[in-house]
Amino acid sequence: MIPAQREKFNQQFTIEKYKSFLEKLQEGYPEIPFRVAETPVFIPKALKDKLIAAGEEIISLIKQSNFKELTKNSIPKDWNVPNENAQPHFLTFDFGICKNEQGELSPMLIEMQGFPSLYGFQCHLANTFRQVFEIDNSLNHFLNGFNEEEYIQLFKEVIIGKHQPHEVALMDVDALNQKTAIDFFVTKKMLGIKILALEDIKKVGNQLFYEENGKQIQLKRIYNRLIFDEVAENIEIFKNSFDPREELDIEWVTHPNWFYRISKYTMPFLNSEFVPETRFLNQVESIPTDLENYVLKPLFSFAGMGVIIDVTEADITNILDPENWILQRKVTYEPVVKAPDGGVKVEIRMMYLWPDGGEPKLCINLARLSRGKMIGVRYNADFDWVGGTVGFMDE
């Protein structure tokens, strides 16, 4: 998207360099189970400014005094966790890069989450691209004036808070075997916190502990990477550890309820040139006659599962819980990244950190390249010049 930078990168690219890049990325860490793209994305200033503006519009909704009231029905009653705090610690907004009516590149919101993303790995990924390829120093993967030292300092503040690193743990069901485990290991190296599987944590009274060198150590704060959707069919798993829905003496980063409050559920409340028309299905009075221009999405699903792209009237009428679905106007991605054999579609994730009692700060980004019908690694397994990557933005 910055033609001179794209041309320079493509000219220096070789399969050997790409293999060397992957080896450096992997060095000292377990194998990365998802596809990392051959290239970063070069983002011109005009598009960066629109991405920033789009994010600010969404944040203004989240900061409204009535936001919790607006989203009170977003949390499934079986998964409401007590002691919710006043704000999320993370905001991630995914934008497809499209062309607007004026023919200019413009972002369109695809997904949003009040849940962590690859905050550690993206820093490592960008640094590795710079080590192997000639990335211009005028381009930055950080935003908002951050450098790496300032970013890590804010990351520590958000994750560790007022505690000691050994009192804080990154937690997931089977943490070391998750697809995103590379991010867990990079984060541990950056911050010095523990990585714990759910079953590594035991409850005594209302406090949580893990064992190290024969000693019981109390956890004060959990960097939560557990998505309830992934364990909904297996809640017996909590019996060997603790149930997050109980009253506990623990601080959450971020509190699990924010996963639901800031999600597809939030999109119908947004009215912006950067947000496709989105309605709760139970509020759609008449089925559009041009259904080919819409997509049907379940509110409670993970990684794009259950999405219906080629919607029919029967798909809509067969849904028994329309309050748990949204009908959204399709977004047409522009294949703006020039691969050696043609254009590739791109999605940019703008990633914010929100420290306790502070303001949300746009820090870093993630990008995904796609040639398939859907963005996402699982939908692009058979292509090259696709997968996870990072945006280098024109200052």
In the DSSP assignment, the letter for residue 90 is E
Cα distances from 242 to residues 138, 206, 237, 259, in angstroms, run 48, 10, 9, 19
Please give the Cα distance from 75 to 304 (Å, whole number): 19
**Residue ranges of domains in the chain:** 3-147+258-276+331-394
pLDDT at 19: 97
- Distance set, CA 318 to CA 11, 272, 279, 294, 322 (Å): 52, 30, 17, 17, 9
Per-residue model confidence (pLDDT) at position 229: 77
Single-letter amino acid code for the residue at 162:
K
Q: What is the pLDDT of residue 302?
A: 59
Residue 232 φ/ψ region, left for φ over 0, alpha for ψ in the -120 to 50 degree band, beta for the rest: alpha
**pLDDT tens across 83-133, in order?**
999 999 999 999 999 999 999 999 999 999 999 999 999 999 999 999 999
pLDDT given for residue 374 in this prediction:
59
Spatial distance between the Cα atoms of 115 and 230, rounded to a whole number of angstroms: 14
Question: C-alpha distances in angstroms, 26 versus 31, 128, 170?
Answer: 6, 10, 21
**39 upstream amide cis, omega within 30 of 0:** no
Rounded (10°) angle between helices 181-191 and 148-160: 100
Provide, for the chain, the percentages of residues in helix, strand and coil under a 3-state DSSP scheme, each rounded to the nearest 5. Answer: 35, 25, 40
If you count them, how many residues does the chain have?
395
Dihedral sign, Cα of residue 17, residue 19, residue 22, residue 24: negative
d(CA 135, CA 12): 11
User: How confident is the model over 124-160, as pLDDT tens digits?
Assistant: 999 999 999 999 999 999 999 999 999 999 999 999 9
How confident is the model at residue 378, as a pLDDT? 57
Say if strands 90-99 and 105-113 run parallel, antiparallel, or are unpaired.
Answer: antiparallel
CB 384, CB 341: distance < 8 Å = no
In the chain, the amino acid numbered 19 is K
Q: Buried (b) or exposed (e) across 244-265, using 16+ Cβ within 10 A?
A: beeebebbbbbbbbbbbbbbbb
pLDDT above 90 as % of the chain: 89
Rounded to 10 deg, the angle between the 148-160 and 121-132 helix axes is: 160
Confidence (pLDDT) at 375: 65
Low-confidence ranges of the chain (pLDDT < 50): none
Number of H helices and E strands in the chain, helices first, is 9, 19
